[in-house]
Amino acid sequence: MIKIPEKYRTVTTFSKCAALALFVMLPLIGFVVGMNYQKTLSSATTANTDSPDMGYPKQMIIVDYPQPNDVISNPLTVTGKARGNWFFEGDFPVTLYCGTIDGPILVQYYATAQGEWTTEDFVEFSSTLEFPMICQETGFLELRRNNPSGLPNHNDKVYIPVRFD
């Protein structure tokens, strides 16, 4: 049997303080590092836009019509192109709001791919929305990435401010 000297088996004030520091400081350091990492991930997602005004996810969707603050009338035909992974089963949801983004929904429908959507290339899309003319002035058009997985990192959307005829 190995004989351990008494000085290594004795609990001292220093050893108590060192243990306390490790049990308190290491979790706090881990928390701070984790929060900074999360902030880095969030800022990378936020910085991944071509146009902060339109909120276009970088190189994912290009809306030809309507452009921001265009005057729209009923029916509204939305056109553009989006990467194939913006679609699921060849479509993605489109919503027209009255007033603000939190305002009443005038119509919800789908934009449909005009070609083969199982690609990473751009695919033309269109959607024709018929809606009641109950809004007086402005609204928002939302084009949302179709995300059947429900994973938050696949939640992308574009808001386009519009004016009503």
What is the mean predicted confidence (pLDDT) over 151-155?
84
pLDDT of residue 46: 37
pLDDT of residue 125: 96
pLDDT of residue 67: 93
Q: Please give the Cα distance from 53 to 34 (Å, whole number).
A: 31
pLDDT of residue 56: 53
pLDDT of residue 58: 61
pLDDT of residue 42: 57
CB 81 within 8 A of CB 62: yes
Partner residues linked to 140 by β-bridges: 97, 161
pLDDT of residue 57: 55
State pLDDT tens for residues 96-121. Answer: 999 888 889 999 999 999 999 988 89
Q: Please give the Cα distance from 122 to 125 (Å, whole number).
A: 9
CB neighbours (10 Å) of residue 41?
Answer: 11
State pLDDT tens for residues 112-152. Answer: 999 999 888 999 999 999 998 888 789 999 999 998 888 88
Q: Please give the Cα distance from 154 to 160 (Å, whole number).
A: 20
Higher-confidence residue: 10 or 159?
Answer: 159
What is the mean predicted confidence (pLDDT) over 52-67?
73
AA letter at 142: E
